[in-house]
Structures are given as C-alpha cells and as structure tokens.
Amino acid sequence: MPTPIRRKVMMLAMAIADNEGYFSPLQNISQKTNNPGNLENGDIGLGTSYGKTIYKTPVSGWLNLFEQIERMVNGKSKYYKPEMTFAQMGLIYSGGNKQYAMNLCSFLGIDTTTTLGDYLLI
C-alpha cells in the first residue's frame, strides 16, 4: 500500500495527466507519446513529438511523471520548489496558462495558494 506522500504524488500525477488530456477519448499527443504529463525531457532513444518525450510504454511515462513530481516537492527540481504555490507551479508547467493551476487544484480539492510542500502535509 502506498504511503500518504506517495498517494499525494500519484493524485497530483493524475491531475496533471487529466489536465494534459491523457484520459480523453480522442487520441492526443500525450497518449501517442505514452507521456501523461507531456514532459519535455528530450529524446531518450525514441525521439520526440512536438517537443514531448516519447516513452516506450505508458508505465515508463507514468514513472517519469512521478519522478518529476517528487523532484518538484522535495526541492530537487531546477524549476520548481516546495515553497511555490500551485498558482506559481501551474504557470511554469503550462507555459503561462493561468487556468492550469485552477484545473489541477479543482481536481485535487485544494486552493491555488497551497504550496507544493504543504500539499504533501494536507
């Protein structure tokens, strides 16, 4: 059984994937690239599509998204810090879309002023 923190990472990954359209019935880039977070980690051997990393399997795409989120919340990311609010994180992750954080937070049942670090403690 996952720890409470793992569950939070998994829920945030689900919120990101939902926001990226991964669960859409219409085929899209995140599905075609096995990349639920639309991560841009460059070519890891399978190329890229529209700048998004292509992963071999959906499982490898999910695992990379989980790792990205863990770096975001534990201070090991070069772009995200635990003291950032979801509003701040959403702007960076989405490339400036103010609605992105609102969608994530609605999915998670939290406020956009919640910090990444505090999210793990709720």
CB atoms within 10 A of CB 45: 8
What is the tens place of the pLDDT at every residue in 62-94? 999 999 999 998 899 999 999 999 999 999 999
Q: Is the pLDDT of residue 122 over 90?
A: no
Query: How sure is the predictor about 1, in pLDDT bands with cuts at 50, 70 and 90?
Result: low
Share of the chain above pLDDT 90, in %: 90
Provide the pLDDT for residue 121. Answer: 83
What is the tens place of the pLDDT at every residue in 9-46? 999 999 999 999 999 999 999 999 999 999 999 999 99
Q: What tokens were used for 47? A: 């190329």
Three-state DSSP at 21 gives coil
What is the C-alpha radius of gyration for the chain, rounded to an integer number of angstroms?
14
CA 1 to chain centre: 22
Q: Which residue has the tokens 């599509």?
A: 49
Provide the pLDDT for residue 88. Answer: 98
